[in-house]
Structure 1
Amino acid sequence: MTQPTPSHSLHATRRSILVGGSALAVASFAGWPGHASAAAIDTDAFIKLSQELTGKSDLDADYASRMIKAYEMIGKSDDIAALADGYEDPQLANEIVAAWYSGLSPDPESNEVITYTDALMWEAMSFTKPMGYCGGEMGYWAEPPAG
């Protein structure tokens, strides 16, 4: 009795194996399908992410919106959306926290100050105030601080 011949056969050539292996290597090197396919992040999601990263619940939406625009300018909005979706990127998380604390644009090519007096560093450094920012009426420094 003879064996039935399959109606379709898988015929792998050396060329098809090399092409398939090369495509797989390129895809893994490029991080596909990775986090690059994440959608851009909106202000509410960025604020929620920033609240988790900074531990602060009263972050300003206007500042958040300006930060998102700066991240878009440097091509990191998809990375931030992925971070918000649970992808781990400690360096980017630290950059976001640094932007909130310094008040500076996260774009290294920009000199934009997103906020100065409302930067989180002033809360962390309760012993001082922003330079050029009045701490009270004339002579307020003569009395010890309240609290």
Structure 2
Amino acid sequence: MSRATISSQFSPTRRHLLIGGSATALAAFAQWPGAASAAELDPEGFLALSERLTRKDDLSSDIATSMLEAFKAIGKTDELAALADGADNQDLANEVVAAWYSGVSPDPDSNDVLTYTDALIWQAMTFSKPMGYCGGAMGYWAEPPAG
């Protein structure tokens, strides 16, 4: 086919241009609900995500609120919301779990300790306790631990 034949077979009309422009605009907004829900990750949603990732159902909502604010400070809000919606981001999932176990802010520029005695590491290390935390009555260390 010659070039003249092809161009004569299709000549765009105003209707084609309007439909094409509308389709392009709709395609741009097709991702909008996902982006809007990303900004709506609240402390309860972060707590639910954290409980799913750590497999613990007794995490503190106060710590979750502080931790979410720390993740927001490093610009991870959208990624966290996507993770909560089922996205596969193993690195971020590990960051969330590490923050809960260490009790330290995920912000590398921050020296904030979000929790110390409630960090999950103390539940994992049943043979130890947080430094400065009383383990029992006076002289409790003289007897071997039970079990």
- Is 2:133 aligned against 1:133? yes
Number of residue pairs matched by the alignment:
123
121-130 or 131-140, which deviates more:
131-140
Match of 2:79 in 1: 79
Which structure has the highest helix share of the two?
2
- TM (norm. structure 2) is 0.75
- How many Å separate the matches in 1 of 2:132 and 2:11? 79
Match of 2:11 in 1: 9
Q: Does the CA-based 8 Å contact 1:73-1:107 persist in structure 2? A: yes
Partner SS, residue 146 of structure 1: coil
Match of 2:144 in 1: 144
Partner SS, residue 95 of structure 2: helix
Q: Which amino acid aligns with 1:57?
A: D
- Is 2:111 aligned against 1:102? no
- Taking only the aligned residue pairs, the percentage that are identical comes to 61
Q: Does the CA-based 8 Å contact 1:71-1:107 persist in structure 2? A: yes
Match of 1:62 in 2: 62
Question: What's the offset of the Cα at 1:56?
Answer: 0.4
Partner SS, residue 78 of structure 1: helix
Match of 2:112 in 1: 112
Deviations, residues 93-127 of structure 1 (Å, cap 9, x unaligned):
00000000000001111000000011000000000
Deviations, residues 10-61 of structure 1 (Å, cap 9, x unaligned):
5xxxxxxxxxxxxxxxxxxxxxx59x82233111111111111001000000
Question: What's the offset of the Cα at 1:89?
Answer: 0.3
The RMSD of aligned alpha carbons is 2.6
Match of 1:124 in 2: 124
Q: Does the CA-based 8 Å contact 1:41-1:81 persist in structure 2? A: yes
Question: What's the offset of the Cα at 1:146?
Answer: 3.3
- How many Å separate the matches in 1 of 2:119 and 2:56? 12
- Give 5+ residue unaligned stretches, structure 1: 11-32
Match of 1:48 in 2: 48
Question: What's the offset of the Cα at 1:137?
Answer: 1.6
- TM (norm. structure 1) is 0.75
Question: What's the offset of the Cα at 1:131?
Answer: 1.0
